[in-house]
Amino acid sequence: MSKDLNATGRWLKRLTQGLAEPQDREQLLAVLREASGRGLVDADALSMLEGVLEVGDLKVRDIMVPRAQMVFVRRSDPVARIVPVVVESGHSRVPVMDEDRDDIVGILLAKDLLRLSTTSSHERFDIREYMRPAVFVPESKRLDVLLKEFRRNRNHMAIVVDEYGGVAGLCTIEDVIEQIVGDIDDEFDVEDDQNIRREAERQFTVRGITRIDEFNEYFGAQLSEEEGVDTIAGLVMKQLGRLPRRGESASIGGFDFRVLRADKRRVDALRVLAPRDVLPPEERASGGDA
């Protein structure tokens, strides 16, 4: 143990050697950035340290998925309607509402629906047997406090409520962690060398930085390249008139775009639903028989 403490002490001494002792957060960040410039802290570590410091200043409202963009199911929905919603969303957890979105009665885990693979379970489906309790937090809660609660209570999703008790949105543990470590890749992310990836019939995942001319060539489409806009993310932003948040949608040239990943600076990935008469290259090459 003493050996570890000595090593830590040497590292801290090396980090601050020749640097003024920081008196506030801005000075601390300046010290860390200077240390990074001197090779004492690598770029990834610096980014995470900055994220840790920022989390203490952010509120749940700053990163939550807004109410209008929440994917949910109704408690009264039949299983034939619930399963497609969960599958299409790609989420591991979906809120369950009663009469309206202000009345969230539980959380449905996608993995729990695996029990419906048996015919008997399908016939006697009762959503109350599958729901988990919903956790509610105020939109003014600090992110660092929420992260502690997520870890302590082993919850991964919280329903965010406003000062009047109405549902304002939702927040997941992944949303909080991404503020520290950056985007976490999942099944919706596209490989670095692949801007467009087919997921299912008519459904594709497209990187935001995909150029419009590349998109048009892939789909045989004719989306226009407007002045100052040359990427798919830029086209969607132009359509909405602002930087969209995760879950927001736009229809352009017959294509439906839904934002899968976005932060305060850019749109990283979108789900694209192509028109029925639009074929990807491999199907055009085979005459549509693929």
* Same domain (yes/no): 109, 172: yes
- Is the residue at 254 inside a domain? yes
Residue 191: exposure state from Cβ atoms within 10 A (0-12, 13-18, ≥19) = exposed
Compute the distance between CA of residue 266 and CA of residue 247 in angstroms, rounded to an integer.
Answer: 14
* Same domain (yes/no): 258, 157: no
232 in Cβ contact with 257 (< 8 Å) = yes
Q: Where are the alpha helices (DSSP H) in the chain?
A: 2-16, 25-37, 43-55, 60-63, 79-89, 119-123, 143-153, 173-181, 212-219, 232-240, 281-285
pLDDT digits (tens, 9 = 90+) for 115-174: 776 655 556 777 888 889 999 999 999 988 999 999 898 889 999 998 888 999 899 998
Q: Mean pLDDT throughout 5-23?
A: 57
What is the token pair recorded at 150? 């997520």
Of 32 and 196, more confident: 196
pLDDT of 7: 53
pLDDT of 290: 44
What is the token pair recorded at 219? 């789909």
Q: Which amino acid is at 273?
A: L
* Same domain (yes/no): 278, 221: yes
pTM over 0.75: no
User: Residue 23: how many CB atoms within 10 A of its CB?
Assistant: 8
- Is the residue at 49 inside a domain? no
- Give the domain CATH number at 171: 3.10.580.10
pLDDT of 105: 92
- Give the domain CATH number at 214: 3.30.465.10
Of 108-112, 210-214, 246-250, 279-283, the least confident: 279-283
* Same domain (yes/no): 224, 139: no
Q: Does the pLDDT of residue 288 top 60, yes or no?
A: no
59 in Cβ contact with 137 (< 8 Å) = no
Mean per-residue pLDDT over the chain, rounded: 80
β-sheet with 255-262: strand ranges across: 196-200, 203-207, 267-273, 255-262, 249-252
Q: Mean pLDDT throughout 283-290?
A: 56
95: enclosing H helix or E strand: strand 93-97
φ/ψ of 75, rounded to 5, equals -65, -30
Nearby residues of 185 by Cβ (< 8 Å), 6 or more positions away = none
What is the token pair recorded at 249? 């949608």
Helix (H, G, I), strand (E, B) or coil at 251: strand
* Same domain (yes/no): 176, 202: no
Q: Mean pLDDT throughout 199-209?
A: 86
Percentage of the residues of the chain whose pLDDT score is greater than 90: 18
List the domain range (segments joined by +) for residue 144: 62-181
pLDDT digits (tens, 9 = 90+) for 76-94: 888 888 888 887 777 889 9
pLDDT of 102: 83
Q: Does the pLDDT of residue 187 top 60, yes or no?
A: no
- Is the residue at 171 inside a domain? yes
Of 7 and 225, more confident: 225
Q: Does the pLDDT of residue 267 top 70, yes or no?
A: yes
Compute the distance between CA of residue 188 and CA of residue 286 in angstroms, rounded to an integer.
Answer: 27
How many domains does the chain fold into?
3
Compute the distance between CA of residue 228 and CA of residue 116 in angstroms, rounded to an integer.
Answer: 50
Would you mind telling me the total number of residues written for the chain in this entry?
290
pLDDT of 159: 94
